[in-house]
Amino acid sequence: MEVKVLDSIMHGVLKPWKLDTTNTRRFTELVKAAKAASPSTNAALLSQLTALLVDYPTLQKIVADETIGNTALQQLLYKTDLPKYKDAVTHFYYFVITGETLRVFNAVLQQAANWTELVDIRYQVGKTLTNVRVLAKQVTTELNEQGFTTVPDAESSVVHFALYYLKHSLIQLYFSIQEQFKASLSQTTTIEDFYVLDLEEPLSTVQQLEYVGPPAADEKGTNSDNGNQEALSFGFKDDIAKIKSCNSQLVPSN
């Protein structure tokens, strides 16, 4: 699974230091349209992202081509404290990063239904984790090069907000995917090692993650929690909906 839309914030048309943000009314329109939706399915999330990216047809096509099905959205398995947006432009980045992170996670879960062999699971998940890890490292390097060493606040620039939000959203995505597939992976990493060894950051910079996923699956790969999923809220500090486990799809055949 590629992370091309998220990558565009570092290397493409959504680079915050290149994006024309003078037309704040346009960003306000996009944010209002996004706020009006409360997607609870993959199709609804696709519609929201398509509306947000209406001015970027190449990114729209990427989202449309890679999104699968109309199943209920499953929330990330980890969350962390993230800064609040301060205006229409940072609100736009908030919606794009949060929505696309969630879309990638759900796309991986749905594609896993076709992975019947352990070698396929390890290869596909490993490739996705590598893509996420590499981008997180690049964002971390950019943050450091631009001198952004603190948490963004009301006085921070759009660039600072977008890069910081992207970095920590990628970390949430990485550990959510790793957690979902950990029984099939030959090797996993800790949050401390991810910072020190992969991001090459000092241990003091570690921002802890909170696990909000479902109860552990039993030996058959099923989950006793079958509660209905609530409508998606993009606020990570809001209550997270219960997640239906898809582990039954991920256990390799004997």
Look at residue 94 in the predicted model and tell me its pLDDT. 98
DSSP one-letter code for 229: P
Q: What is the distance between the alpha carbons of residues 175 and 156, in angstroms, rounded to a whole number?
A: 27
E strand residue ranges, the chain: 78-79, 210-211
Taking the CA atoms of residue 231, residue 183, residue 139 and residue 195 in that order, the dihedral angle to the nearest 10 degrees is: 120
148-204 per-position pLDDT tens digit: 999 999 999 999 999 999 999 999 999 999 999 999 999 999 999 999 999 999 999
Residue 232 identity (one-letter amino acid)? L
Look at residue 66 in the predicted model and tell me its pLDDT. 73
End-to-end CA distance of the chain, in Å? 25
220-229 per-position pLDDT tens digit: 333 433 333 3
Report DSSP letters for 178-201, one per residue: HHHHTTT-S----HHHIIIIIS--
Give 35's Cβ-side CA count (13 Å radius).
Answer: 10
pLDDT more than 70, % of the chain: 83
